[in-house]
Chain A
Amino acid sequence: MKKIVMSAILASFLLLFGCSKKKEEEVKVPADTGKEIKAAFVYVGPVGDGGWTFAHDLGRQVMAKLPYVKDVTFIESVPEGAESTRIITSLAQKGYNLIFTTSFGYMDPTIEVASKFPDVVFMHCSGYKAAENVGTYFGRIYQPRYLSGMVAGKMTKTNIIGYVAAFPIPEVIRGINAFTLGVRSVNPDAVVKVVWTQTWFDPAKERDAADSLLDVKADVITMHQDTPAPLQAAEKRGAYAIGYNSDMAAQVPGAWLTAPIWNWGSIYTQVAEQVHNGTWKSEQLWYGLEHNLVDMAPMSKLVPEDVQALVNEKKAQLASGNDDIFTGPIKDNKGNVAVEEGKSLTDAEKLSMNFLVEGVQGSIPE
């Protein structure tokens, strides 16, 4: 009964707007097994954010140069949740056959839309749900985080390092922990103070959080945010800055040390090629330094030679596949043993990490 009423209402609207049924047929997307790629990117922030979305867009531009990529579009500042469903659907309807959704909050919408467009390949960044035509991709950014922690540990004089963090989700927690382990590997006395902003993109809030850390004598500021605002706050107050997402050296030249950065272009090129060749299949990719998906921005002149050498040595070790960052003994910051000696966290455990390591001052908001 409900359906009938709905149909009646809808039919009247169709008449009202002078619409023909023919248009509906266009919804079907032509089957695609490989030749031409029409790709689309869904971004959570504006491409000019100088951070997360900016880094993805650099990757998009690399991919756009491939000869068989006919069209690459993007849509920015798409709200997470149900609002994105409409936009992802709209892209699939317009014949885009490879769609990247680049924020965690697009996970359910991506899965939902993908079930209606079996011939379109979807790649969702940072989630844990996959399907026949939905793959996931992300990077072991915790590896360069650890390396940047080593730099911070060597550079701090007050032994207080400030960390502006967005949401208490495993991805962010993993970064804080790896960073802190890096700090403590070279400077066991240093502590990392964490402030949560509960937003990815809010330059004013991010700056305020950094200021509050500088107020309690932090002399190195790093962050897990989408904009360089916390770093600008650090530079203004004469502290060092360690960035994230992309090389922001030019924006805070007086404070810049280094940053864990993303090279999304490598993975976008790889996926486009697989779809082009017809070899793509749904996978959950989690690449590290070895695939060059994550990297360290070049360390600035402020970082002494010997520290650079030390960090580069560790980087070479991680890049060779010998990743011992989350190998025990590791204590959490409440004094409990989190990882026993001789054991290492599995990928599944890393992906659902929900504790802070010793040396982090702060807690995971309940």
Chain B
Amino acid sequence: MIRFEKRKDISKYFAMTAPFVSVLLALTTAGCIMLFAGVNPLKAYMGMFHESLGSVYGITETLVKATPLIFTGLGVSVAFRMKIWNIGADGQLYMGAIGASWVALFSGLTGFAAMIGMFLAAAFCGGLWASVAGFLKAKVRVNEIIVTLLMNYIAAAWVSYLVYGPWKDPKGFNFPITQRFSPDIMLSHFMTYRLNTGFLLAVALVIILYILVEKTIWGYEIKVIGDNPNAAKYAGIKIDRSIIGVMFLSGALAGIAGYVEVAGVQGRLQEGISQGYGYTAIIVAWLAGRSAIGVLIVSVIMAVILVGGDSLQILMQLPVAFVNMFQGLILFFILASDFFIHNKISIRRSGK
């Protein structure tokens, strides 16, 4: 029979190489399927690489795609740090987008004041949305996975309500979109590309989060709470307050992703702002080993896969289902490698 055992000492060398080997295996597997579909895998991979990294435009688009993943990934990973599972980054992103859009459309603020207002409103709305789950977890021990997950749907329904109802653009022919934000409150763009200051904000937050989590007492506290809540309690750490606080921070980061999407890319509130970023963020945070710098790197790699996937369709005429399958394969293999880093297989003859 086959048994899995926890590895006692994880080899550094193995841990370093396993993800690369698994990506290679994923590429080989997908390549076999491509051959089956009559497509040259080498050409396809070159096309993907060229699409996402082969030109200034490609790189800017990859970074645009990475930006919301960085924010939501940071949010999810800071909660993971405390062993709290925030599955609700998508909903928090939407609440952030709602907050930012309210400031943009109805507050009467203009220029820089509006930009600051949008940022704060987004962080606050996202944070508040997440702290509901934090509060329920801290006070009545309700499972945060369920609460955050289900609140995603509520947040998405709020967006639908607003864009179909009170916030609908009067000149939008009844389409579920708000008015466009005035250009002076949009994030400034890099030359003619869509890359905007949101990406710089994301990098700045990576650094801030790194310092906060790795270098401060607060960061140490949440780690202790995650590893051993009883010890934390004994040491006099206020666990309840920390849970709500961390959830607020986690949600605020996802909310900022919503701000950057509406103010940097969409220019308005509408449904489908998030292409599942909040869910991808869970994978990002997991692969990043819950470190802020890791989130930055993994987000960019994910963006390369997502943006590069376009070329599989355009150049290779592979159906969109293949692109989704390809992305799934890569994640599957990477997660598997993570498993094999921490576990080893032993095969034994008999039951005993």
Contact = CB atoms under 8 A, between A and B. Distances in A.
Interface of A: 2-3, 5-7, 9-10, 13-14, 17, 19, 21, 23-24, 26-27, 40, 46-47, 73, 75-77, 79-83, 85-87, 89-91, 93-94, 104-105, 108, 116, 128, 167-170, 173, 198, 351-352, 354, 364-366
By secondary structure, the B interface counts as helix
Interface in B173-210: 173-176, 180, 188, 190-192, 194-195, 197, 199-200, 203
B220 interface: no
A202 to B, nearest CB: 13
Given A82-B266, A93-B57, A365-B165, 11 more contacts: A10-B190, A19-B55, A23-B54, A24-B55, A46-B319, A46-B321, A79-B275, A80-B272, A89-B61, A170-B173, A198-B176
Candidate in B174, B180, B270, B307 with the most chain A CB atoms within 10 angstroms: B174
A44 to B, nearest CB: 11
Interface in B266-321: 266-267, 270, 272-273, 275, 307, 310-311, 313-315, 317, 319-321
Interface string B58-84: 011101110000000000000000000
A28 B53 CA distance: 18
B190 to A, nearest CB: 4
Contacts of A27: 55, 57
A309 to B, nearest CB: 37
B90 interface: no
A73 B55 contact: no
21 contacts: A6-B197, A6-B200, A10-B59, A14-B56, A19-B55, A19-B56, A46-B321, A73-B315, A75-B310, A75-B313, A81-B273, A82-B261, A82-B266, A86-B61, A86-B64, A86-B194, A108-B180, A167-B176, A170-B173, A173-B174, A198-B164
A168 B164 CA distance: 9
Interface in B235-267: 261, 265-267
Contacts of B144: none
Interface of B: 51, 53-57, 59-61, 63-65, 160, 164-165, 173-176, 180, 188, 190-192, 194-195, 197, 199-200, 203, 261, 265-267, 270, 272-273, 275, 307, 310-311, 313-315, 317, 319-321
Nearest to A168: B174
Contacts of B65: 86
Contacts of A168: 174
Contacts of B188: 2-3
Candidate in B55, B199, B265 with the most chain A CB atoms within 10 angstroms: B55
A6 B200 CA distance: 8
A352 B314 contact: no
Nearest to A170: B173
Contacts of B314: 40, 73, 75, 87, 90-91, 94
Contacts of A105: 175
A116 B192 contact: yes
B42 to A, nearest CB: 19
Given A75-B313, A167-B176, A170-B173, A81 B56 contact: no
Given A354-B174, A366-B165, A3 B63 contact: no
B173 to A, nearest CB: 6
Contact of B317 (A73, A104, A198): A73
Contacts of B315: 73, 94
